[in-house]
Amino acid sequence: MTRFAIVGGGAWGTALGCLYARAGHRTVLYARDAETVAGINRDQRNARYLPGIELPDGLTATSDPAEAMDRAEIVLFVVPAQSLSVAIAELGGLVPPDALAVLCAKGIERGTGRFASQILTEAMPGQPLAVLSGPSFAADVARGLPTAVTIAAGEPALADRAARLLSTETFRCYAAGDVVGVEAGGALKNVLALAAGAVVGRGLGASAQAAIITRGFVELRRLGAALGGRPETLTGLSGLGDLVLTCSSPQSRNFAYGLALGRGDDRSGLKLAEGVFTAEIAARLAKQHGIDAPIIATVAAILSGDRDVDAAVQSLLARPLKREFD
């Protein structure tokens, strides 16, 4: 039995809580929202973030971070990318120094261009860390459906240990050494899912959807490599794997947000779509690194109101012809 603490009572934190509680680990989830805590402890439900799923008995929640962190061996940080700095500033001091911090957000911090691993390393130098990413819808994982993901850490022995500790019968973790590549794949696929959703929402057809996914993957690989990721990582579960999932299913909140963009629907009540926060900084990073990333730039322009979907499609199609592989 391992002692897990989970920071974040949203869809993914709760799903991971289900996974590890069911696997027999001591699993305590920290949520700042009292109603979420009460719902998990009293009703075995998280009605706000993971409706319709009965949570296992073994999963408990608290709004006392010290209680969650008590002798924790693994601390999963499962808050949105833009909230991670604040969460670490508030809670980092309570994390036992030898606990493995596992970063689960998929995004890039807007103001600084940092990935989660950089945020944690700067705030908590010396803390062992791993990054978890790959195709994994919270509702699927909470229901016990199978998937495979990547767990990356800087040192091979730590990555192997993390993969062993975080794997269950239904959740197969592949160890990797490329932390930045895994983070880049997880963050960029969300931006591309917005584009794929917009294409489908605008009624442009399955061929256009496949084309945007494929050319989006070229951008993911280019920018991921420029940011320091290894090419093979970006073709793995956290790159191609999660791109395929997120760009093809309305179960994805990013794809659903893109669908609403394409249809011209109101987006105010939609759930968290990390790509909305990552698009502009991703486009900026591409520019800084001299990377051609027209789809990412177009998503950023649509979100900022600089371009509508029809004009964006027109301008993508009107670019000068080029070789498929340069």
Ligand X SMILES: O=C(CO)COP(=O)(O)O
Does position 153 bind ligand NDP by CB under 6 A?
no
Using CB under 6 A as the binding criterion, the count of chain residues that bind ligand NDP stands at 27
Strand partners, 149: 173
138 annotated as a binding-site residue: yes
48 annotated as a binding-site residue: no
Does position 86 bind ligand NDP by CB under 6 A?
yes
Distances (CA, A) of 132 to 85, 111, 117, 175: 18, 23, 11, 10
- Interface pick for ligand NDP out of 27, 127, 136, 246 (rule CB under 6 A): 136
- Three-class secondary structure of residue 205 per DSSP: coil
Site map (CB under 6 A) of ligand X, residues 231-260, x = contact:
-----------x--xx-----xxx------
Query: What residues contact residue 270 under an 8 Å CB cut-off, 6+ apart?
Result: 253, 256, 257, 260
Does position 188 bind ligand NDP by CB under 6 A?
no
- Pick the stretch among 29-37, 175-183, 233-241, 256-264 that binds ligand NDP (CB under 6 A): 29-37
- Interface pick for ligand NDP out of 6, 9, 153, 301 (rule CB under 6 A): 9
Distances (CA, A) of 325 to 221, 222, 238, 321, 322: 12, 11, 22, 12, 9
Least Å distance, CB 125 to ligand NDP, is: 21
Residue 189 is among the residues annotated as catalytic for this protein: yes
Alpha-carbon gap, residue 135 to 270, rounded angstroms: 21
Backbone angles phi, psi at 3, to 5 degrees: -95, 110
Alpha-carbon gap, residue 284 to 291, rounded angstroms: 10
Helix H or strand E segment including 129:
strand 129-133
Does position 272 bind ligand NDP by CB under 6 A?
yes
Alpha-carbon gap, residue 12 to 221, rounded angstroms: 26
120 token code pair: 């944690």
Does position 91 bind ligand X by CB under 6 A?
no
Backbone region of residue 56 per phi and psi (left: phi > 0; alpha: psi in -120 to 50; beta: other values): beta
Question: Which one from 114, 189, 221, 307 is the annotated catalytic residue?
Answer: 189
Number of other CB atoms surrounding residue 230 within 10 Å: 16
Residue positions counted in the chain: 326
- Interface pick for ligand NDP out of 61, 129, 138, 212 (rule CB under 6 A): 138
Does position 280 bind ligand X by CB under 6 A?
no
Does position 182 bind ligand X by CB under 6 A?
no
Does position 67 bind ligand NDP by CB under 6 A?
no
- Interface pick for ligand NDP out of 44, 60, 83, 315 (rule CB under 6 A): 83
Query: What residues contact residue 1 under an 8 Å CB cut-off, 6+ apart?
Result: 24, 25, 26
269 annotated as a binding-site residue: no
Amino acid identity, position 36: T
- Pick the stretch among 18-26, 89-97, 132-140, 163-171 that binds ligand X (CB under 6 A): 132-140
Does position 39 bind ligand NDP by CB under 6 A?
no
- Pick the stretch among 5-13, 123-131, 177-185, 210-218 that binds ligand NDP (CB under 6 A): 5-13
Strand partners, 173: 149
Q: Are 20 and 91 in contact (CB under 8 A)?
A: no
Active site amino acids: 189
- Give the residues lining the site for ligand NDP (CB under 6 A): 7-13, 31-33, 49, 78-81, 83, 86-87, 104-107, 136-138, 272, 274
Q: Binding-site residues for sn-glycerol 3-phosphate, please?
A: 106, 134, 136, 189, 242, 252-254
Contacts with ligand X by CB under 6 A lie at: 106, 135-137, 190, 193, 242, 245-246, 252-254, 274
